[in-house]
């Protein structure tokens, strides 16, 4: 059974995927998971591998989606991303972490995408 939270997350990931493809990124895979963490979406942007964390919200009551991507979450994405690169023999490939924050408005049947590129571990 899919929970409301997972259903909303799936909607957000599909919207983010479509949005990034329209921006010219090339889709590689989704929901990459290993013991070190998980990555929602993986793309290529020219020669750069892009690990994308998607945060979907239906209101701003608990803040913007990107605010939920903290240092610890970024570390997990980084470690999982490094493992992905190792698995694919891409250890030398340049990479970055991006965040896509999706705000869903169910009443208006609209969604807003906010793309934050190259989020660092600060």
Residue-wise pLDDT for 33-92, tens only, equals 999 999 999 999 999 999 999 998 875 655 666 667 889 999 999 999 999 999 999 999
On whether the pTM is more than 0.85, the answer is yes
Q: How far apart are CA 41 and CA 118, in angstroms?
A: 14
Residue 122 lies in a domain: no
| pLDDT > 90 in the chain, percent | 66
Kindly list the distances between the CA atom of residue 111 and the CA atoms of 12, 31, 33, in Å, as whole numbers in the listed order: 9, 21, 27
Count the domains in the chain. Answer: 1
In this predicted model, what pLDDT tens digit does every residue of 9-33 receive, in sequence order? 788 899 999 999 999 999 999 999 9
Write the CATH number for 100. Answer: 3.40.1350.10
Range(s) of the domain holding residue 38: 4-116
The answer to whether 56 touches 12, Cβ cutoff 8 Å, is yes
Mean per-residue pLDDT, 83-104: 94
């Amino acid at each position: 059974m899919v929970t409301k939270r997972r259903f909303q997350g799936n909607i957000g990931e599909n919207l983010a995927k479509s949005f990034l493809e329209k921006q010219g990124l090339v889709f590689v895979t989704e929901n990459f998971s290993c013991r070190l963490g998980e990555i929602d979406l993986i793309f290529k942007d020219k020669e750069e591998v892009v690990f994308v964390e998607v945060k979907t919200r239906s209101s701003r009551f608990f803040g913007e989606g990107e605010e939920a991507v903290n240092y610890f979450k970024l570390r997990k994405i980084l470690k999982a991303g490094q493992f992905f690169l190792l698995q694919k023999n891409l250890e030398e490939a340049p990479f970055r972490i991006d965040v896509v924050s999706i705000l869903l408005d169910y009443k208006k049947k609209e969604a807003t995408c906010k793309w934050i590129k190259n989020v660092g571990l600060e």
